[in-house]
Amino acid sequence: MALSYPTQPGDIDHLIADDHAVVERQFQHLEAGRGNRRVLVDQVSFELAAHAFAEETVLYPIWTEIGMTDEHDDAEHEHQQIKELLVVLGRTEPGQPEFEEALSSLIGVTRHHVDDEEGEELPEFRSKAGPARMAELGEQFLAAKRQAPTRPHPNAPSEGLAERIAGMLAKPLDQVRDMVSGKQKELATDASGLLDPQAQAIVDAHSSLGPLPFEILTPDQARKQPGPDDAVKKVLADRGIEGPEPVGSVQDLRIPDGTGGEQTLRVYTPAEPGVGPLPVLMWVHGGGWVLFDVDTYDASCRAMANKTGAIVVSPDYRRAPEAVFPAAHDDVLTAWRWLVLNAAQMGGDPARMAIGGESVGGTMAAATSLQLAQAGEPMPRAQVCVYPLTTGEQFGDSMTDAADARPLDRPLLSWMAMHAFQGKPEAATDPRVALLDWTPEQRAVMPPTLVITAERDVLRSQGQQFAQDLEAAGVQTTHRHYEGVMHEFFGAAAVLDKAEQAQQEAARHVRRAFGTAGEAA
């Protein structure tokens, strides 16, 4: 089931549908008998608890106000059934008849509830309440998920174990997490069984740090949560591996940003530089325009400096919602233009420059190339787009089959877009974001391009489509797809073989463009 009408990422019905997609995919893992059954059910319980509480406090009261009384009563009744089944699942174990019967019932009730909501109730609600109200309610919906109400929940069972487990709907979010089978350290992992063991170790490490879901927090709160780099550092520490990878030097420069202010440009020189001037690679960090910074992607930059023999620079562009689209893009373009003029002073060769990045960093790499071409300026020799976002739409099979993936699931993707495009919904269709909407002429100006995609990534399908589009337009395009790994895998080469392979592939692509392909790095 899916919504049959267009929505904005922060609209309440959009957010509800994202939650539905995550739980549905987890149900499919459970039905297929793959993954960690206990952890999957704990995660489903947590998600349904927070989701139900937010619906009951934000959405359902309005239904009665606007004449949707029958729908309100039906939904409340189904929520009550769901809560009672969660109680059973919380006190039993996989394999026990009571557990398996409750799980089967939960899947049936939830799917029926979702079909009713997405097929009838949400469309009716939108038509009666009006689309303008959806974004305001979306913010309230997320706030309800992270709030700590003190009053008893009106529909929670009222005593004993039932109160303790189903009553978690009325407790602070961190207490909710702690209540779920005492396994709060597993709630942020990928329990699907679809990751390879090395990748699984990384998402398990991230989850063990106890992060709250980014997608229900404010941006400021989310930035304080453990990031993908922290997960890799934990695996390194657990295994006694030294880090970070040594390079020749790391220096922070202050350069202009897109508004005439300043931004930081981090400059990495390789551990064993060749005879200068060295080629230059700009590497743009990810984080959905909202999260993360140059520190988060430090490992990628160090690796690319050593593997390419190039000076690697990374701009610490402005982030949303403090600076919404196109601030980050403007900063990256400004940094590139500054680099063209100043590379020689850094020991770099302005005639041999390339660009790349991860996630929306890959988006901005391609967008920068397009803007340079349109301005008639010298182009990068090559570009690398590592699991890029290439459309503001929920595009392709990966939006369904990786809806529950970690660290980037479908709700987090919507949360990022909601903040990145705040007050500017048209940004999602801007050519700097909607790369799949480019004309053949726009595609054809791209430099030789490497696109890297990951199996357990909501952005997989759109990255694959972008590579196909470029190839069809005659661009020298290489697409490398990695099974059994997740979004953000690229920087984890110290503990993940497929990340090492992807970095080597990216380095070969760049060295070939620099004319240094024969120089092993």
CATH number for the domain spanning 111: value is 1.20.120
Residue 138 lies in a domain: yes
Regarding whether 165 and 271 lie in a shared domain, the answer is no
* Options 457, 461, 469, 509, the catalytic residue: 457
d(CA 469, CA 449): 11
d(CA 130, CA 421): 21
* Options 45, 359, 398, 414, the catalytic residue: 359
Question: Are 141 and 60 a contacting pair, CB within 8 Å?
Answer: no
The two structure tokens encoding residue 498? 């497929």
Q: Which of 150, 165, 186 is the last residue of a domain?
A: 186
DSSP 246: P
Q: Which of 186, 207, 223 is the last residue of a domain?
A: 186
The two structure tokens encoding residue 408? 């980037």
pTM for this prediction? 0.93
Looking up residue 433, the CATH number of its domain turns out to be 3.40.50.1820
487 is catalytic: yes
Q: Which of 136, 170, 186 is the last residue of a domain?
A: 186
Regarding whether 180 and 255 lie in a shared domain, the answer is no
Residue 244 lies in a domain: no
Regarding whether 151 and 270 lie in a shared domain, the answer is no
Residue 344 lies in a domain: yes
398 is catalytic: no
Residue 111 lies in a domain: yes
The angle subtended at Cα 279 by Cα 277 and Cα 284, nearest 5°, is: 140
Regarding whether 138 and 275 lie in a shared domain, the answer is no
Signed CA dihedral, 32, 33, 36, 38: sign only: positive
Regarding whether 175 and 299 lie in a shared domain, the answer is no
Residue 213 lies in a domain: no
Peptide bond into 61 cis (omega under 30): no
Calculate the alpha carbon distances from 156 to 65, 70, 83, 388 in Å: 23, 20, 7, 43
Residue 323 lies in a domain: yes
pLDDT tens by residue, the chain, 521 residues: 689 999 999 999 999 999 999 999 999 999 999 999 999 999 998 899 889 889 988 999 999 999 999 999 999 899 889 988 988 898 899 999 999 999 999 999 999 999 999 999 999 999 999 999 999 999 999 988 877 332 223 344 333 333 344 444 444 334 444 444 355 678 899 999 999 999 999 999 999 998 888 998 999 999 999 999 999 999 999 999 998 999 999 999 999 999 999 999 999 999 998 888 999 999 999 999 999 999 999 999 999 999 999 999 999 999 999 999 999 999 999 999 999 999 999 999 999 999 999 999 999 999 999 999 999 999 999 999 999 999 999 999 999 999 999 999 999 999 999 999 999 989 999 999 999 999 999 999 999 999 999 999 999 999 999 999 999 999 999 999 999 999 999 999 999 999 999 999 999 999 999 998 765 44
d(CA 24, CA 28): 6
Regarding whether 260 and 385 lie in a shared domain, the answer is yes
Regarding whether 371 and 489 lie in a shared domain, the answer is yes
* Options 79, 113, 329, 487, the catalytic residue: 487
181 is catalytic: no
Residue 191 lies in a domain: no
Residue 146: which domain range?
12-186
- The number of domains in the chain is 2
Question: Are 115 and 1 a contacting pair, CB within 8 Å?
Answer: yes
Residue 211 lies in a domain: no
Regarding whether 278 and 135 lie in a shared domain, the answer is no
Regarding whether 407 and 313 lie in a shared domain, the answer is yes
